[in-house]
Amino acid sequence: MGIVQKPTARSYFLKRGVISTPGFADVISRGSFELICKFLHFIDNESLPTYQGPPILFKIYPVISHLNIKFQTLYLPNKNTAIDERLTVWKEHLSIRQYLPLKTSKFGIKTFKLCESRTGYLWCFLVYTGINTVLQLSLITPDSPKTAAVVLELLEPLFGCGHMLWIDNFFSSPELARKPKIDDSTDCVGTLKLNRKNVPKEVKDKKLEKGEIIARHLGPVTVLKWRDKRDV
């Protein structure tokens, strides 16, 4: 199916003229294939009482965990890493399906991914399941944005390895910038929304001419603002 791509799974079993693909129906019937897809899962149902992850991911959680372990043990990313969100296309009914109007494919399953900047290697990922998303909220303060917990969930295994994290304004905040410095070897850089908490008032309100820069230090964190065609 990865080589012969068709719009639906049922399309592979059609026998009408030029749209038929010999071979698929010889291996398995359409009914058997759909039953396997419907009931396929990778965990013993008896382990549900001890399961700690999001309920909707219970059936495939061992696969997600296995992939993350493999991605992390096979390769150590270079110094520069990045975290961003990704939408995997899914148009059928699903309670965790997201609508992101700015994406090319607007409906799908949202994941947060930490990748190496140089190669794009996916080092770990987190499936977003709404309010049931399991995050290490103990790593952030109550006033910190929840996106900070997403970053720390993905980045924590790299603490102590001297990495530089690059993020966009969806994730960045002064509180988050302080957190990776707890081991004095990890730093982060990113654009910042001016309405985030603890952004210095003089930076937020300062009117700049083109090319002008203003900087303020919040302990180990530096907030810069400069004027290009607009404020950055």
pLDDT at 91: 82
Domain boundaries, the chain: 1-40, 43-173
pLDDT value of position 122: 96
Q: By mean pLDDT, which of 40-54, 151-165, 174-188 is the weakest?
A: 174-188
CA 30, CA 162: separation in Å to the nearest integer? 52
pLDDT tens, residue by residue, 57-94: 888 889 999 999 999 999 999 999 999 999 998 888 88
- Mention every residue, 6+ apart, whose C-beta is less than 8 A from residue 25: 12, 13, 15
Report the pLDDT value the prediction gives residue 199, as an integer from 0 to 100. Answer: 85
Q: Report the C-alpha gap between 111 and 119 in whole angstroms.
A: 19
Q: What is the pLDDT of residue 182?
A: 57
Question: What does the pLDDT average to over 199-223?
Answer: 87
pLDDT band, residue 35 (cuts 50/70/90): very high
Indicate whether 28 pLDDT > 60. Answer: yes
Read off the pLDDT of each residue in 217-223 and give the average, rounded to a whole number. Answer: 85
What's residue 76's pLDDT? 93
- As a whole number, mean pLDDT of residues 174-187 equals 77
What is the DSSP annotation of the chain?
A: --SS--SSGGGGG--SGGG--TTHHHHS-HHHHHHHHHH--SS-GGGGGG--S-GGGTTTHHHHHHHHHHHHHH----SEEEEEEEEEE--S--TTEEE-TTSSS-EEEEEEEEEETTT--EEEEEE--GGG----GGGS-TTS-HHHHHHHHHHGGGTTS--EEEE-TTT--HHHHHGGGGGSS-EEEE---TTSTT--HHHHH----TT-EEEEEETTEEEEEEBSSSB-
Tokens of 13: 């079993």
CA 152-199-132 angle, 5° bins: 35
Q: Between 80 and 181, where is the model more confident?
A: 80
Pick the closest to residue 94 from 57, 136, 44, 51 (CA basis): 57
CA distance 20 to 16: 6
Structure tokens at 55: 């309920």
Task: Work out the average pLDDT over 169-176.
Answer: 87
pLDDT at 166 (0 to 100) = 95
Write the pLDDT tens digit of every residue in 108-141: 999 999 999 999 999 999 999 987 776 755 566 6
Q: In this structure, what are the phi and psi dihedrals at residue 85, rounded to the nearest 5 degrees? A: -95, 150
**Residue 187 to residues 74, 150, 158, Cα–Cα distance (Å):** 23, 16, 11
Instruction: For the chain, give the mean pLDDT.
Output: 87
Each residue of 137-167: pLDDT tens digit? 556 666 667 788 889 889 988 988 889 999 9
